[in-house]
Amino acid sequence: MAVSTAEKLARGQKEISIGEFFQRNKQILGFDSLTRSMITAVKEGVDNSLDACEEAGILPDIYVEIEQVSKNEFKIILEDNGPGIVKRQMANVFGRLLYGSRFHSIRQSRGQQGIGISAVVMYGQLTTGKPTYVISKTEKEEVAHWMRLILNTKKNRADVIEEDFKVWEDKEHGTRIEVFINARYIAGKQSVLEYLKGTAIVNPHAHITFKDPNGEVEEFKRVSDENPRATREIKPHPKGIELGYFINMAKASKHRRMVTFLTDEFSRVSPRVAKEILEKAGVREKQSPKTLSIQDAKSVLKAIDEVKIMAPQTDCLSPIGPTLIKKGLRNVLSGLRPKFYAPPVTRDPKVYSGHPFQVEVGMVYGGELPKDKQVEILRFANRVPLLYHQGGDVITNAISKVDWRRYGLEQRGGKGIPYGPAVILVHVASTQIPFTSESKDAIANIKVIENEVEKALRLCARKLKTHLSKSAKKAKNREKFNIVQVLLPEIAKKSASIVGKPVPKLGKTITSIMNVIWIDDSIEYDKKRHKVQVDIYNYTSTIKKMKLYTELPIDNLDMKKIDPEPDDINGDKIQWDIKRITSTDVFSIKFELKGLEEEDFSDIEVYFSDVNPSIVIGAEMLPGDWNLDDKKITAAAQSLFDYDEEKDDDGVAGQPDEEEENDVVDYDDEADLSDDDNGIDDKAEGF
């Protein structure tokens, strides 16, 4: 059997000794208030668990429990199904600050500095005086081992008070920690529950259970069985590296010559590039890195700036991806029944100061989200929710710079956080998130990151805008539909009954009012089936033919329940040729999808071709790239433009061909009957 993950992690774990410093500066670790301490404790534990599971390729199962011991004292229990920690490393992992494998590597991970969980242990012991209980089991071992430990802050090492082996029932591998801390438990925006919600959204592969101090259990189910793509460790990229860091690397290097030091310890530096750098810097190739003067180091950095170096590789990043962002948002927000999940945007990776980063944006709109409040911003850095310092964050900054009024949200003066029933999710992934402080609350305002966030926001917002204008258009069309389908027949019937004549035919009046082809779709979900109907109303005065297209999850299409039969199916793309709809007639297409969840198919995009697009409402013209991989492309593309020759005299959609003089005054819009009244009853005009 190969070396277990725990063993591998153990080998990378080295020591940094600054325990005492952190004892005096606990606020920078996120323990500056009682409420904050609660979240930090949970967060450090959960982040560690998620990272460990990911590295080991395990789908995380995380249990969080908070018990209230006394007014300000709580017992926090965190349990995972991670790879476990080997016995000899346990005291180090939990009992020494800055002890971890991740601190020395450059890759995307949650707990970037490795000060996390041991800081919780330390904070707990400082505030309650109680030791921490840890139990862990690796896959290889028969039994679990447990210990009670406290942190010796002077020596930055753990003092184990008590330890033993025990059988851990039904547990193949995993770790459980029970720590007592002084804290305060609150509900609301900056709470443990909010943090876990956020975590669940961006980690749809995790199953998280939370039991709060009142014994209430909240469960976030796993909605994806895919572990995030494993991140790779990379060497630092020379561009943008800081002087101190560079000198430290040089001092610690095992290489004896600058040229091999640069080539071997940095990414994207070939021997040729290394030589070019050194030549420009005026430093000898044979110079020993250990004895490099500060002056020379500066020259090297200056030269690095001037030399062209390939951008750092970006395959070390692990974005969540549009599909999983949507799934995650659905999983957690479905209770608010949002009307629209904008297709999330994942940008291509970019580089800041030598570090690759990648931005993702998701958006949710409508339903029971509050209409008159600021939109909810969900900020994430390497899949970790950021709950504090929203104001000082690059994400908030980028959001405030977008003029959201253009995309259908309210915003005073076109600046600042917009208002409306929306949730905006922004995820920044990087090998090195530039946090504004050690407590990792906010991402620093770095121009390239801000630009990327802004671009991603605009892309996503555009989709929201399209959705909103589509619904507005639909509502307007529904009005007209109401006129011709409901009111007009009633008017005709009543007038006929008053004058004692047969009910007149409405065809021509209807086509005069509408003069459009109206395409309306409806989706009903019942007994695990989506029943879809697309109605094509010909409200023009002539017979019409057209082609209709849509894209469906073809594997879920019930071939027995599709009527009429499509004229062409190509992959997920389906086409119907509608040969003839007479004036004022309706043509219906019905089909059913099976085996999908309701939200898997909430919107249908219908496209058309072979008819004058200016008279069609409720569907889009077939996009030019629809059949790109298909031989029929030429025919389809050609037919798009055929209507021009058809000599269509239908005019423009929504513009009835009846006289429409501009100076006609709408009586009901104009009448101003309250002119003599003041709206107060006793002075309103009487009868």
Q: Residue 671 interacts with other proteins (CB under 8 A)? A: yes
Kindly indicate which of the ranges 305-313, 327-335, 608-616, 666-674 contains the residues binding other proteins, using the contact rule CB under 8 A. Answer: 666-674
| CB of 588 closer than 8 Å to CB of 534 | yes
Bridge partners of 429, per DSSP, are 358
Contact letters (x/-) for other proteins, 472-511, by CB under 8 A? -------xx-xx--xxx-xxx-xxxxxx-x--xxxxxx--
Stretch that binds other proteins, among 229-237, 364-372, 546-554, 677-685 (CB under 8 A): 677-685
Q: Does 651 bind other proteins (CB under 8 A)?
A: no
Instruction: Please tell me the distance from the alpha carbon of residue 190 to that of residue 35, in angstroms, as a whole number.
Output: 9
In terms of phi and psi (left: phi > 0; alpha: psi -120 to 50; beta: otherwise), the region of 654 is left
Q: How far is the CB of 498 from other proteins (least distance, A)?
A: 4
Residue by residue, DSSP assigns 346-393 as EPPPEEETTEEEEEEEEEEE-TTS-SSSBPEEEEEETTEEE-S-GGG-
The CB-of-491 to other proteins minimum distance in angstroms stands at 5
As given in the structure block, the two tokens for residue 210 are 């939370």
Q: Which helix (H) or strand (E) holds 136?
A: strand 132-137
Quick one: tokens of 346? 């994942």
Judged by CB under 8 A, the stretch of 332-340, 562-570, 636-644, 669-677 that binds other proteins is 669-677
Q: x/- binding map, residues 403-432, to other proteins, per CB under 8 A?
A: ------------------------------
| 621 lies in the binding site for other proteins (CB under 8 A) | no
Write down the H helix ranges in 402-506: 447-482, 488-499
Smallest distance from the beta carbon of 656 to other proteins, in angstroms? Answer: 7
CB of 479 to other proteins, least distance (A): 5
Q: Is 677 in the site for other proteins (CB under 8 A)?
A: yes
Cα 18 to Cα 13: distance, rounded to the nearest angstrom: 16
If one asks whether residue 644 binds other proteins (CB under 8 A), the answer comes out as: no
Q: Would you say 18 or 684 has its CB closer to other proteins?
A: 684
Distance, in Å, from the CA atom of 578 to the CA atom of 620, rounded to the nearest integer, reads: 16
Q: Return the C-alpha torsion angle 317, 321, 324, 329, nearest 10.
A: 100
* Sheet with 207-211, edge to edge strand ranges: 157-166, 144-152, 132-137, 174-182, 73-80, 61-68, 207-211, 217-220
Nearer to other proteins, 287 or 511 (CB): 511
The residue among 39, 15, 4 whose CA lies nearest residue 439 is 39
Total number of residues binding other proteins (CB under 8 A)? 50
Report the nearest approach of other proteins to the CB of residue 505 (Å): 8
Candidates 479, 477, 508, 480; CA nearest to 492 is 508
645 vs 675 by CB, closer to other proteins: 675
| Among the listed residues 513, 569, 604, 637, the single contact to other proteins using CB under 8 A | 513
Q: 216 vs 682, which CB is nearer to other proteins?
A: 682
If one asks whether residue 686 binds other proteins (CB under 8 A), the answer comes out as yes
Token pair belonging to 593? 């999808």
Binding window for other proteins (CB under 8 A); candidates: 25-33, 129-137, 231-239, 668-676: 668-676
Check residue 649 for interaction with other proteins (CB under 8 A).
no
From the CB of 219, what's the least distance to other proteins, in Å?
A: 47
Q: How far is the CB of 685 from other proteins (least distance, A)?
A: 4
- Two tokens, residue 633: 């492309």
The site for other proteins (CB under 8 A) is made up of 479-480, 482-483, 486-488, 490-492, 494-499, 501, 504-509, 512-513, 656, 658, 664-673, 675-687
